[in-house]
Amino acid sequence: MIKNMGIFSRNFFKTLGILGTAIIIIHAIVYFTFPIFYAENQRNKINESADILIKYLEEKNSDEIPLLLESYSKNLRISVHLKEETPKDDSQIVKDLNINKNNESTYIIIEERTLKTKDNKNLSVQFISGTNLIDEAIDIVLVYLPYTLVLTLIFSFIFSYVYSKRLAEPLLYISKVTKKMQNMELDARFDEGNKGELGEVGSQINKVYSKLLTTINDLEIKNKNIIELQEQKVAFLRAASHELKTPLTGIRIILENMKYNVGVYKDHNKYLSETILKIDSLSILLGEILESSKFQEWTENKQILNIKNAVEIMIDRYREMYLVKNIKINNGVKDTTTILMSKQALDKVLSNVVSNAIKYSSEDSSIQIYDDEEYLYIDNPCKPLSEEAQKNLFKIFYHTQVINKPQNGTGLGLYIVKNILESYDLEYSLKPYEHGMRFKIRIDNKEKDNI
C-alpha cells in the first residue's frame, strides 16, 4: 500500500509518525519524572520557609518560641517543634500532618535548624512536612498532560501536512519535468528563476538536456543523410545499370547484323565507326559513373576557398569550348567572396555548371558570373526551359528531353551537383530569367562563420 502512495502521502505519514512518537515519549518522560522534581521543589520551599522563620525567631525570647512555632504549624502543613519537644512516635507525626502512613507515595521531609534567641539561648528546631507528594504530582500532571498531548498532536498533524506539501511540491515538479524530458518533449525545461539548490540543479539539467537534444538532432540528421545516401546509391545503381544496358544492347544488335550481313549492315566500315562512337559514349558514361562514386570524398576536407579564383580556373579550362561559339565569359565575382567546401566538391560543381552554361548558351552571347553577399549567379543566354523540364533537371540521367542530340550528355552532371550542394546544406536553383537560364547557389555557409 505504501509503495503505491504518492510522495506527499508518504512524507506526511512519516513526519506525523516521527512527531507523534516524539510527543508521546516526551509526555511519558514528564509523567514519570515530574513527581521527583515536584518533591524536590517542595523540599526547597520548606528550606526557604525554615530559613525565614529562623531569622524571625532569633529576634524573640526563648519563652515566646513555643507559641510562635505552634501558630506557624497551624497555618502551614508543616509540623515545627523544638527538637526536645518533637514527638517520638511516628503515628503522632502522621496524625499532626494528616497523611496516610500506609500509602507508598507518602513523602516525609525533615529539616533541622539551630538558632540563638534574643536572651542568648541556643535552641534546635525541627521542620517536618509530610504529604502524598507522588499522588499530588500525578494529579497535577493528569490535569495538564491530556490537553498538551492533544494540542501537540494537532500541531504535529498541521505541521506534517504543511511540511510534506512544501517538500513534495518541488519533488512533484521535478518528476513532472523529468517525465517530459523522458518523452523527449522539446519544451521540457526547469524554471531557472527558482532560487537555491533547486534552481541551480534545474539549470544544470536544462543544459544537459539541451545538449542531449542537440546531439540527438545531429544524430537524426546524420542518420537521415545516411539513409538518403543509401537510397541514392540504390537509385543510382539501378539507373546506371539501365543507362549502360541501352548502348550495350545497341552495340550488340549492330555487331550481330554485321556478322550476318543483314541489309545495310553489310557496310562494315560505316557501322564499325558508329559502333566505336557508341563505345566512346559508353566510356564517357562509365567515367562519369566512376567519378560520381567519389561523392563521399567530395564532402570531406572542408576549407574556405576563394570563388573568384575557382571560377577563373574553370574559364581557362573551357577556353576552347566557348571560343568556338564566340562566347564571352565575364567573371564578376568579388575578390573577397569565399565558400566553405572541399576543393574537389567546388571544382565539380563549377565544372558542371560552367560547362553546361557554355554548351547551351547561344552563339555570340555573353555569360555573366557574379555574386552578392549570399548567392553566386551564373547567367547564360539561351532559350528558357519548359516548366516540366525544370522539374526534372536534377534527376539522374535526365538529358534527352532537354538538349539536342548533337549535344547529348550523360545526364549525371546536374545530379552530382544537386547531391554535393545538398550535402553542404546549400540552396540552389536553375530558373529562367529575362535572357535565358540562371543558376543560383547559396554561398554563405553558417559553418564558415564559426571557423
Cell matching residue 49:
520557609
The predicted pLDDT at position 264 comes to 80
Q: What is the pTM of this model?
A: 0.48
Could you read off the pLDDT of 358-381 as tens digits, one per residue? Answer: 988 989 999 999 999 899 999 999
Distance CA 223, CA 225 (A): 5
pLDDT averaged over the chain?
78
Contact 105, 50 (CB under 8 A): no
Q: Which of 39, 36, 70, 41 is nearest to 53 (CA)?
A: 70
CATH class of 301-450: alpha beta
Distance CA 67, CA 62 (A): 10
Distance CA 387, CA 383 (A): 13
At residue 7, does pLDDT exceed 80?
no
At residue 442, does pLDDT exceed 90?
yes
Cell matching residue 48:
526557604
Cell matching residue 234:
540504390
Average pLDDT over residues 430-449: 82
At residue 103, does pLDDT exceed 50?
yes
At residue 340, does pLDDT exceed 80?
yes
Contact 432, 385 (CB under 8 A): yes
The predicted pLDDT at position 14 comes to 84
Q: What are phi and psi of 441, to 5 degrees?
A: -130, 130
Could you read off the pLDDT of 32-82 as tens digits, one per residue? Answer: 877 777 777 778 888 888 888 888 888 888 888 888 887 777 766 677 778
Across 195-353, the runs of DSSP E, i.e. the strands, are: 303-306, 328-331, 338-341
pLDDT confidence band for 404 (50 / 70 / 90): very low
Burial (Cβ within 10 Å: 0-12, 13-18, ≥19) of residue 137: buried
Contact 384, 437 (CB under 8 A): yes
Number of other CB atoms surrounding residue 165 within 10 Å: 13
The predicted pLDDT at position 60 comes to 83
At residue 293, does pLDDT exceed 90?
no
Helices (H), 325-365: 343-360
Q: Where are the domains of the chain?
A: 7-158, 189-296, 301-450
425: left (phi over 0), alpha (psi -120 to 50) or beta: left
Cell matching residue 286:
562509365
Higher-pLDDT residue of 300 and 251 is 251
The predicted pLDDT at position 406 comes to 41
